[in-house]
Amino acid sequence: MKAIIPTGGMGTRMRPLTFTANKHLIPVANKPLILYPVETIAATGIKEIALTYNPGQLDIIQNFLGDGSKWGVKFTYILQENPRGGLANIFQVCEKFIDGDSFVMHLGDNVFTGGIKNLADHFRKHKPKGLVGLVHHPENVRLGVPYFDENGKLVKYVEKPENPPHDFAVPGVYFFDPIIFNCFKGKEKITPSPRGELEISSAYQWLIDHKYDVDTLEIEGAWLDPGKVQDWLEANFYLLDLNTKTKIDSEFDKTVKVTGRVTVGKNCVITNSHLKGPLNIGDNVNITNSTVGPFTSVYNNCVIIDSTVTESVLMESVVIDKVRKNIENSIIGPNSNISQSNHSEHYSELLVGELSKISL
């Protein structure tokens, strides 16, 4: 079995952060998002992974991930020329890479905290032509929804139905036999949806309509889909709570108080501050006279002075300097500088990029 992980997409729901950064490289709980699916796939025993990218993005993602040897796998980078081609188009452009093998496509912006090994093992053992993972979701009306017959067999897969018959939804992991590539050929090939995309649901429906077996299996653990800003903060919150262990790789004196589970990276300088877990601090971070955490991730090379930061994500090289109000529930992009104006308490000085969101 092989795997496909998309690393493209427009990232429109995460703007302005994604104007200058690939969404898949933005950290969640101080780990770039793309590493979650890479590690999840590697844990299934799959050794060959295709990473699809959009025009102009190859250097960014390839320079970050390399050849895959760090995870004991081999990466192949494949261009998806049309970023709006749809999920089915992603594996369509990978047909040569798949080369007659079965495969799983794991979206590059989805996190499965319990892994997907149970699905991979089922697919290998029972060899259906397709396998649909399932999660319970209270808002499945905005997702893909499976429909079953009286025997529990999948008979239909509908995107965003008005009245779902249950709370099951289909998350971003999809298993296929290579027979699926026939859905792009002949008179009965799938066609773009009204929004102009080749939908993943259409591919599964093609299998069902042609009487091929498509199994379903519930996913273990939580499913996180940090596609929007609030979802990103909630994913950061959840993963910090789930995974943070106390591990401190920098030395600091007795002026630093540590409460709860806190991870601190290398070469950090922290003085006269309170660190509240769950909290993950990267490498080369300076914190002075501040309170940081809980439920906060601070990426590498950040500086926090005379400030309080809670329930937030700080990306690389953020500077927060003497900000009197608490910073909460925020995502702060790389190389940003936030400071307190000394001119007046009656106005603020801002340099703000397109589509930013600010609450003062």
What is the Cβ-side half-sphere exposure of residue 346, based on CA atoms within 13 angstroms?
A: 0
| pLDDT (tens digit per residue) in 246-267 | 999 999 999 999 999 999 999 9
Q: Looking at residues 93-120, what average pLDDT do you find?
A: 96
Identify the pLDDT of residue 86.
85
Report if residue 37 sits inside a domain: yes
Tally of structural domains, the chain: 2
- Predicted confidence (pLDDT) at residue 194 exceeds the cutoff of 60: yes
Q: Cα 101 vs. chain centroid, distance in angstroms?
A: 26
CATH of the domain at 215: 3.90.550.10
- pLDDT digit string (tens) for 302-340? 999 999 999 998 988 989 988 888 889 888 888 888 887
Q: What is the CA radius of gyration of the chain?
A: 22
Q: Specify if 235 maps to a domain.
A: no
Is pLDDT at 178 greater than 80 in this prediction? yes
Q: β-strands 319-321, 337-339: how paired?
A: parallel
Give the pLDDT band (50/70/90) at residue 350.
very low
pLDDT for residue 32: 92
In a domain, 45, yes or no: yes
Task: Look at residues 54, 56, 105 and name the one whose alpha carbon lies nearest to residue 80.
Answer: 54
The chain-wide mean pLDDT, for the chain, equals 89
Q: What is the pLDDT of residues 8-45, one digit of tens each?
A: 755 555 555 555 566 788 889 999 999 999 999 999 99
Q: Which domain holds residue 264?
A: 244-339
Average pLDDT over residues 199-203: 93
Question: Where is 42: in which H helix or E strand?
Answer: helix 35-42
Same domain, 88 and 210: yes
* 207 and 250 co-located in one domain: no
- Does the pTM exceed 0.85? yes
pLDDT, position 73: 97
Note the pLDDT of residue 13.
54
pLDDT for the residue numbered 347: 47
Match 């259906």 to its residue by tokens.
128
Asked if residue 16 lies in contact with residue 333, where contact means CB atoms within 8 angstroms, the answer is yes
Q: Sign of the CA dihedral 81, 82, 88, 90?
A: positive
